Amino acid sequence: MKIVALLLLAVAYASATQTSPGTSSRPILSSTEAASYTKAKYLQGWTPSTISTSTADYTVGSGYSTIQAAVNAAINAGGTTRKYIKIPAGTYSEVVYIPNTNVPLTIYGGGSAPANTVISLSLSATLTGTQYKSAVGSLFSSGDPAYSIYSSCASKSAIGTSCSTVFWVQAPGVQIVNLTIENSSKNSGTDQAVAVQTNADKVQIHNARLLGHQDTLCSGSGGTTVQRSHVSDCYIAGDVDFVFGGGSTVFEGCTFHAVAGRSTEAVVFAPDTAPSISYGYLVIDSTITGDTSFLTSKEVYLARSWDSGVSSSSDYVAGTSPNGQVVIRESTIDGVVSTTAPYTTATSGRAYSGNASSSRNLNNNSYNRFWEYGNSGDGA
């Protein structure tokens, strides 16, 4: 009986820490409001399929010297039957580009755990086109499926955020499984360096480690084109805006780890959801944590709005400019996050503004659209 009582007390305490409507600095959803923010709502009719890795159609190292060569072969084979690419355990210093194609691909690590199969490269947004060509040019030849992506990046004076990507998905239906994907760039300052970027619909990332610093994962291109992703059982690490983009993405059973050392603070989510889109990022049954130095500073922020294309707060137009949307629910938030100020200023300089009205419109773009429900932990 004593154990039962303690369990009930723990549940009651966890619930009591987040009570609707919350405050203007930390709005909390009611159970009625939370019913509108479920996995099914965000995925809008798509049910992610069970991922199989039992049989490989292409194996890196068996006729394909690089991952990109195996991807090229699978795409060139054509058809609409899913093709499976196995990457044996090891470390691969290369980029992987999957251009827009109707060939569904599953790319998976052949080791017993994600840490056994690592794709790692150092690419920063500040690289020149010449430096970029030196780093990855040997992977691409004219006529290759992804050559246009490569040649566009190589032509730039500075390659920018998108072209700093290590693993770039532009095709629908791609599945990424049992891999570590890392952008190892660690320049001082705030250089963007993307590990994984998805600009496509119905993308699945499962049982993976995504490692970087600024802009580790870009999920969705933004705008009103539907780009749904399901990211499950993953470990995602970074510092500044390390999960960003404009897609409709469900993160389920993931750990988000803020890394100290390069920056004195960290921001986990930086969505640039279109103002007409109600569903940006949903985080469920996950953990938000960080290096121990943040336990004192409390300078890990759950989110800020990426006001893409808006140069200053005075240029921001509610209902026209992007207004990031995030719901974090039934997750554990560690003490690296401040309980009273978990959100921060948008990239445009627009001050954070939460809506704590009991009669609020959850899609009122005059406010930030960051919400929580049923979370626990020292940072909740």
What DSSP string describes 189-214?
Answer: S-----SEEE-SSSEEEES-EEE-ST
**Could you tell me which of 357, 366, 294, 286 has the C-alpha nearest to residue 27?**
357
Residue 95 falls inside a structural domain = yes
Per-residue pLDDT of the chain (380 residues; tens, 9 = 90+): 444 443 433 444 444 479 999 999 999 999 999 999 999 999 999 999 999 998 999 999 999 999 999 999 999 999 999 999 999 999 999 999 999 999 999 999 999 999 999 999 999 999 999 999 999 999 999 999 999 999 999 999 999 999 999 999 999 999 999 999 999 998 766 789 999 999 999 999 999 999 999 999 999 998 899 999 999 999 999 999 999 999 999 999 999 999 998 889 999 999 999 999 999 999 999 999 999 999 999 999 999 999 999 999 999 999 999 999 999 999 999 999 999 999 999 999 999 999 999 999 999 999 999 999 999 999 99
The answer to whether residue 112 sits within a structural domain is yes
Flag whether 81 is in a domain: yes
Q: Which of 274, 276, 272, 268 is nearest to 251 (CA)?
A: 268
Q: Which domain holds residue 34?
A: 20-47+59-373
Predicted TM-score (pTM) of the model is 0.94
Catalytic machinery residues: 241
Return the CATH number at 303: 2.160.20.10
The answer to whether residue 53 is domain-embedded is: no
Interacting residues of 37 by C-beta distance below 8 A, sequence separation 6+: 29, 279, 282, 327, 329, 371, 373
Q: Judge whether 133 lies within some domain.
A: yes
Structurally, the chain folds into a number of domains equal to 1
Q: Which two tokens stand for residue 239?
A: 């510092």
Alpha-carbon gap, residue 96 to 121, rounded angstroms? 11
Phi and psi, residue 188, nearest 5°: -70, 160
> Per the domain annotation, does 161 fall within a domain?
yes
Q: Is residue 282 part of a domain?
A: yes
Examine residue 4 and state whether it is found in any structural domain, yes or no.
no
Pairing of strands 369-373, 300-303: unpaired
